[in-house]
Structure formats: structure tokens, C-alpha cells
Structure 1
Amino acid sequence: MVMKNYPPQFKADAVALYESRPDATIRSVAADLGINQETLRNWVRTAGASRPRGRRTQEPAQPPAPLEAENAALRKKVRELEEEREILRKAAKLFAGGDALVNPFQGVADLQRRYGVKRLCEVLGVARSSFYYWRRTAPGRAARQAGDARLAARIRVVHQESDGTYEVPRITAELREVSGEAVNHKRVARIMRAFGIEGVRLCRRHRTTISDPAAAEAPDLIGRDFTAGEPNTKYVGDITYLPIDGEKSSYLATVVDLASRRLAGWAIADHMRTDLVTDALAAPVRTRGSLAGSIMHTDHGAQYTSRSFAEACRSARVRQSMSAVGSSADNALVESFNATFKRETLQGRKSWSDEREARLDAFRWLHRYSTRRRHSPLGQRSPIVFENTLHHPPTTLAQAA
């Protein structure tokens, strides 16, 4: 039986997913999410979502203009296009290697006598007010650039003397101590980026598991046995981070059924507070109806050892199970799940462009994981199909609201 009451966030994400994929159809998106296509169509209609579809209706033909006037207009258009092409060809030489903001302005300055500022700004996509501001502030900018070049030379000396190991904090301190300059570390960082000066940086693994030594512990009821005879008896959970451009992150908490490999619930947020994992646990409670007597196995992260999560488990009548501290092998299945998720959604990229893109990619992939993705341990069947073969009623994956 398909779940009738969908959370508002699920509906909003389903509509957003449909809008974000111009090549998708109502039918394909509904199939990805395991819902009825008419249900999705109603949500899209209610939300007022729309996308251009098919060919536009041709407007009634207008009476043809006199031939001479039409030819004159065409000749004028050709002249404009030829001029535009000439401007772009000349400006391209200026754009070839340099600052993306200065070059268009410099192009306008160099070509303004022949084409005029207004025409150049139109072709190059530059606001005239911005160009005039750039021209007015040119002397001050040149002075700053000269000062940056002098400071860059001193930074390079310090960097070389450290065998290329110093980064911004140490170089800033060295400049302040040796030369007595009241130089700002942000300026040092900017100049180092601009001149390609880099220090040695230790790679740090992004930690999502932060243990609390004083927190209550639960026994390991799984013992690295990531199998179960029946669905809704043993679950594993974990948190992974979603890298966003600009050194930001979102966080994904998941709950996976060991019997069917079904993603029974998940929650995504821009934080790692305890309600991230309690929301993820609440999702399978709605999906399954009851988790009474089942095991919930996690690592020793502070979120899972918290009082709030323990209370959520007691409320759902779930037995808590925890892996040994620092042993990723004790939670290997969900660790593998996280790695697969990132590999298949990022597809070689290092991060998502923004939180919306990350959420929609996760929304689609996580639902497809249960509704359509084939799993070799399940005989190349999806988790939902596998559960149906065990005479368990199919339900739509619940997401934390």
C-alpha cells in the first residue's frame, strides 16, 4: 500500500526535482520516487510549476512589409552583426589572459573612440556606470596593484626561506616581526592566491564522528554481521557530509535496513545537531508503522550517544547497538553506502555548487536507491521489489519533514 500522507517537504522536493530536470517527464520522476504519476502531476499543478513543452503556437502571420523596407532592415541587421563580431574579435585578445572584470573594461577603454562606449558596453555585457567607475578609480587601483606587487616580492622571499612550507599565518607573522609592517593576514592571503604562492597543507579528513567519552554506551548487537532474515529487524545508521562550493557543507543522516538494503529513512540539514539523527530515525517509524523490537546500530558519534537519540530509540521501542570507538569496519555497510552515494552523485566533482543542487541530487538518488537501483545481494533487484517478494507491503520512502 502506498503511503497516502506525504510530508510537505517531500512534495516540495518532488516538484523541485521535476522543475530542475528539463529532460524528465512526470512519469519518469514519479517512477524514480515510487509514487503515482497523477499524484505528482497534482502537486506540480498545485505548486504552479511549469516548463516550456513542445513547440510554441505560431502567431498569425502579419502582413509582409514593403520589400525595400524589409531589405533595408536586413542590411542594417547584417551591419550590426558584423560590427558586433569585429568588436568581439578585437576584445578577445584582451580577454585572453587576465582578470575577468578588468579586461572587459579595458576593452571598452581601448576601443571607445571607434565604436563608442554605449555600443561597446552593449556588446560586451558591461554596465556603463560600472565602466565609468572603473575609469574614475584607475589611479588608486594602479597604486594598490603596485603596492601588492612589492608585498608579493617580500612574501616570496619569506616563502622561499621556509622551503616553501609557510602558509598565510606564518608568513604574516614573519612580515610583522621582521619588517615591522602592520600587514593584514587577509591581504597576505589574497596576494598569495593572486601570485600563485602556496604553502604545504596537511590534508584533513572531514570528521562527522565525534565521540563523547562521558556519553552512555550501548553494546554491539551486530558484531559485523550485516545481514538479517527479515526486513524491519536490523538497521544501521550514519552521518556523512555533502561538500558545497565555498568550503560549506550539508549533512546527511541515513537509516538502512540490513535485510533488504532499503534506505528506510534519511534527513538532510546544514548542521550536525542531534535532531538530524532523530529526524532520520523518525522517517522509518512513519514508513514501517512500527520499529518495535528492531536493532538500530550506529557508531559512537556524539549525536548517537546523546540523550535525545536514546530517548527516540526508547520511544520507538528500538534497541540501540554501537560499534567500537574508532572502528569503521564495525559499521562498514553504511560507510560503503555513503561512498557509493557520493561517487554516483558527484561523478568526479569535488563538491556541489550550492545547497539546493546537493539536496535535489540527494533527493533523487536516495529514492532511486530503494525504488529502482538493482543490488547484487538481492539478486539484482531493488529493495522495494525484494521486500515485495517477501510479502511485505510496498511503501514510499519517508524523509524527515
Structure 2
Amino acid sequence: MKRGPYAKVAERNAGLLARIRGIKADHPFRGYRRVWAFLRFVDGVVVGKNRVYRLMSEHDLTVKPNLRLKAKRRPTGVKPRPSRPNEWWGIDMTKIKIDGYGWLYVVIVLDWRTKKVVGHYAGDQAKAWHWLSALNAAVGRQFPEGVRGGGLHLMADNGCQPTSTSFMKACRVMDIKLAFTSYNNPKGNADTERFMRTMKEELVWINEWRSPTAFYQALGSWIEEYNQGYLHSALGYKTPVTTEQELINSRTLLKKAC
């Protein structure tokens, strides 16, 4: 027979469990690692991952795997691994259903090193010049003095927008080295694809959207919050903005030392 927790243990866990329930209420798609990171680095609660996992498992708060969404991988070449900000960006698009209106398209430009969203576009069309709008916003934000000579690479899929003549010509003019994933292989742009899932889990799927204007406003606010406050395990549970600033500062100090 399985024994229940001791009364003192249950009492000690009551406050932690209540906080976990609160985090899950706001972010239902977060697993135990991300819940633990929020407790540790935002709330300042010193707690182990195993304890968080045990509590979430006992109270049915873990995220159930959906095997239908599991991607089928095949061997590919080595994915680029940037060593500095603004070395490799990824660009991709997804669509959002607005009740009573139709589909909206969101184009995201993501810095692979810092996981920062450097540019985006949202609208009811997604032609090549809409993708360029997101890219131009990113360039204006990250390269206020111009991108030429900056050694910037951009990874895209083989869709009609990034492979269009106008998009590729614009990249050549701006001296952005455009690269494409292999066919039927989203893993080549995995960082950007994973961000799209995060955006849907944290913003899109937990709300009922009935107005394009409301979604545009919410998207802009959420991206700023994401850049400023989202904790990435790949970044040592630091935020994109913090990581970017630390890397820039370290490169500046290195240049002065040389």
C-alpha cells in the first residue's frame, strides 16, 4: 500500500504547492524545469528540481507529452552555432486564427545566440515585403549605424517569401548572407521554430482572440516581456536582453585588452 506524505511534510509543501499552482494557472504549458526556474530566479525560492517535479507529479500538474506532435528527425549537417550576438538570425512565419475575422500572420526574426526577438511583423497578409518589414525592423534595431560589414547570416526555410527575388536581392543589398534549410527539415531552423511554439503556449493558446487590434497590442507587449524576462535554460536561466548585454560587454572588454 502506498503511504501518503507525513503531515509535517505536507504542511511544509503547502506554500510551495500553492505558488506552483499559481504559476501553472498563468502558464499552463510550462513543465517542471521552467516552473523551477521561475521559482528559483524570479521568486528567489531555493528549491530543488526533484522536489518541484515530485509535487507537480503528485498533483497532476506536469505537461502530458503529445506524441502526435513529435517531429521525425533525419540526419542533417551541423547546424550553425553562433558565438556572438547578431551573427546568426532565423526568420520564420506562423498564423493565428482570430474568431469572426480570419487568419493573421506573424513573422519573427530571432537572434540564435541570445534568443532575443529582434524584429517581427503581424498582419492579415504575408508576402515577401511583409517578411522584409520584419527584417528591416530587426536591422534598424540591432544595427543603427548600418548592417553592411556586420557579418550577419540569416537562416530561412524554402518558402515562397524568403526565396523570392525581391527578398534575396534585399539581403544582398544589405550584405546579409542568406541561408536556407534543407527541404522537409525544420530542424535547420530549430531555434526559431521553438520560439514559435513558446509564443503559442505563452500567448496564443491561452487566450481567445476576437480582435486583430487586441492581438497586435498583446503581441508587442508580450515580445518585450519575453526579451526582458523569459528565462532560458540554454542561456543558464538568463533572459535574452541580459545575455546580449553580457556578451557585448565581454567583447568590449576583450577589444580594449587587445
Which TM-score band applies after superposition, normalised by the shorter structure? 0.5 to 0.7
Does 2:180 align with 1:326?
Answer: no
Match of 1:391, SS state, is: helix
Does 2:111 align with 1:257?
Answer: yes
Give the corresponding residue for 2:237. Answer: 380
Shift of the 338–226 alpha-carbon distance from structure 1 to 2, 3 Å rule, reads farther
* 2:88 aligned residue (204, 219, 234): 234
Give the corresponding residue for 2:175. Answer: 317
Query: How many percent identity over aligned positions?
Result: 26
How far apart, in 2, do the equivalents of 1:223 and 1:234 lie?
A: 16
Q: Which structure: larger Rg?
A: 1
* 1:369 aligned residue (214, 218, 226): 226
Q: CA deviation at 1:392?
A: 5.0
Q: CA deviation at 1:284?
A: 1.8
Does the 8 Å CA contact 1:372/1:382 hold for their aligned counterparts?
yes
How do 1:109-188 and structure 2 match up within 5 A? Answer: none
Does the 8 Å CA contact 1:278/1:308 hold for their aligned counterparts?
no
Q: 1:143-193: CA deviations, max 9, x gaps? A: xxxxxxxxxxxxxxxxxxxxxxxxxxxxxxxxxxxxxxxxxxxxxxxxxxx
Q: CA deviation at 1:238?
A: 0.1
Does 2:97 align with 1:243?
Answer: yes
Q: CA deviation at 1:347?
A: 4.1
Letter in 2 for 1:264: V
With the length of structure 2 as denominator, give the TM-score of the two structures. Answer: 0.62
Q: CA deviation at 1:387?
A: 1.3
Q: 1:81-128: CA deviations, max 9, x gaps? A: xxxxxxxxxxxxxxxxxxxxxxxxxxxxxxxxxxxxxxxxxxxxxxxx
Q: CA deviation at 1:241?
A: 0.6
Give the corresponding residue for 2:195. Answer: 337
Letter in 1 for 2:131: V
Does the 8 Å CA contact 2:101/2:210 hold for their aligned counterparts?
no
With the length of structure 1 as denominator, give the TM-score of the two structures. Answer: 0.41
Does 2:210 align with 1:356?
Answer: no
Does the 8 Å CA contact 1:285/1:316 hold for their aligned counterparts?
no
Question: Root-mean-square deviation (CA), in Å?
Answer: 2.0
Does 2:133 align with 1:273?
Answer: no
Does the 8 Å CA contact 1:229/1:259 hold for their aligned counterparts?
yes
Shift of the 362–306 alpha-carbon distance from structure 1 to 2, 3 Å rule, reads same
Give the corresponding residue for 1:3. Answer: none
Unaligned 5+ runs, structure 1: 1-221, 394-401
Letter in 2 for 1:252: V
